[in-house]
Amino acid sequence: MKLPVPADVPPADRLGRVHLVGIGGAGLSGIARILLARGVGVSGSDGADSPTLDALRALGARVHVGHAAEQLGDADTVVVSTAVREDNPEYVEAVARGLLVLPRSAALASLMAGRRVVAVAGTHGKTTTTSLLTVALQHAGADPTYAIGGDLSATGVNAAKGSGDLFVAEADESDGAFLHYAPHAAVVTNVEADHLDHWLSEEAYVAAFDRFADTVHPDGFLVCCVDDPGAARLADRQEAAGRRVVRVSAREPGALAGVELWSPGEHYLADALAALAAGVTLGLDEAALVAGVASYTGTKRRMEPKGTAAGVRVYDSYAHHPTEIAGDLQSARALAGEGRVVVAYQPHLVSRTRLMGAAMGEALGAADEVVVCDVYLSRDDPDPEVTGALVAGAVPLPAERVRFVPDLDDVAATLVSLARSGDVVLTLGAGDVTRVAPEVLALLEARGA
């Protein structure tokens, strides 16, 4: 559900008690963490229990599994995830009571009030770059508040209240959320058409990034990773309009030359350079920032090492766009060395697969063995014409090296049947394919016993 952002969003200390519908998701759980740290009363609900809900309960939130109108309790404000449907009983009850109802973007903007915001946007690499910037700033003594779309490996959390005046936030373009933050500074990693179910055309998607850059404070700045043509063109347009633009390129690593990053891959180097450039332009010590980048150990679900068994290394990553798939397979190839890359991919969203399924399959051709699952629906309705078979059929490998395995429960066993010592197994996708990696490790351990 896409809710409008009110013209006047109150700061967090004027929201009263806040109830979050979909509190277990990456976006709302981070908002809940910061609200709780600021002493705001928090309740919420989600469709299934999870370690995230347990963590929020431990912090003092009143959290329910399932949705019911009475769970709003004495809430003054209700925050609704984009995954929530209009017939959700808690949303219906909030409207009936006349409560303030906010989308995720407005709730995040409420938390930003009074802080110097650095917003990180881009089609790919937002989570990694936001994470890198957060760790680098912490290392340089800035102690920012942060809200990230994934859990930092070092802390195990996706958001925290800092004591400094900086607020580092992942700025999501998928539903236009990034247009509501009015940051002091912004980072754009790349601009490549996506989320066309919302934007409807590539032109509208690209124009949204100009609108985002236009929201940056006149005294602030914009960092662009100009190896990407879309971000380079954005930099040109914004510079011509008088914006202060800082350009970074992975082909010119500069201060990071010789620094060993947590994962190989040119796209990860670009993310690190963007984070470093933002920190330096904010006025932080460059040597401390570089040391922070070098200390970064990753973010959950971004080329995350899950373990090794029977000589097979297993990784999990969030990639769901053809460019992201290609980037993570480049990293996997570097990690595999003389071994093979065995990948399981779960397409994400019917709308994206309809438009990009063939390109997803083409990108998967960089692996040695490919398993494609069925489409993870998320907010979409199923379409019998758009399944994982569309992607599998486009993989440019011999047929015996490509398998369409629609049932996710069968994927781990298929991967284990393919993998041998020295290989890298990589699970890719933004849905529940992440649960396959632990299953693979368990089966490999049983095979090696």
CA distance 178 to 105: 7
Residue whose token pair is 């083409």: 362
Active site residue: 93, 170, 173, 439, which one? Answer: 170
Read off the tokens for 71. Answer: 């769970």
Q: Is 123 annotated as a binding residue?
A: yes
In total, the chain counts a number of residues equal to 449
- Say if residues 269 and 250 touch (Cβ distance below 8 Å): yes
Active site residue: 126, 134, 323, 427, which one? Answer: 126
Q: Is 124 annotated as a binding residue?
A: yes
Distance of CA 90 to the CA centre of its chain: 26
127 is catalytic: yes
Q: Is 155 annotated as a binding residue?
A: no
CA distance 379 to 390: 20
In 172-217, beta strands by DSSP E: 185-188
Find the radius of gyration of the CA atoms of the chain: 22
Helix ranges (DSSP H) in 282-430: 286-295, 322-336, 350-364, 388-392, 411-418
Q: Is 184 annotated as a binding residue?
A: no
DSSP state at residue 286? H
Q: Is 306 annotated as a binding residue?
A: no
Helix ranges (DSSP H) in 365-407: 388-392
Q: CB within 8 A of 206, min separation 6: which ones?
A: 191, 193, 230, 234
- N-term to C-term CA, the chain: 49
Among the listed residues 47, 12, 16, the one whose alpha carbon sits nearest the alpha carbon of residue 378: 47
Cα 118 to Cα 135, 137, 147, distances in angstroms:
14, 11, 11
Annotated binding residues for ATP, written as ranges, equal 122-128
Annotated binding residues, written as ranges, equal 122-128
Residues annotated as part of the active site:
126-127, 170
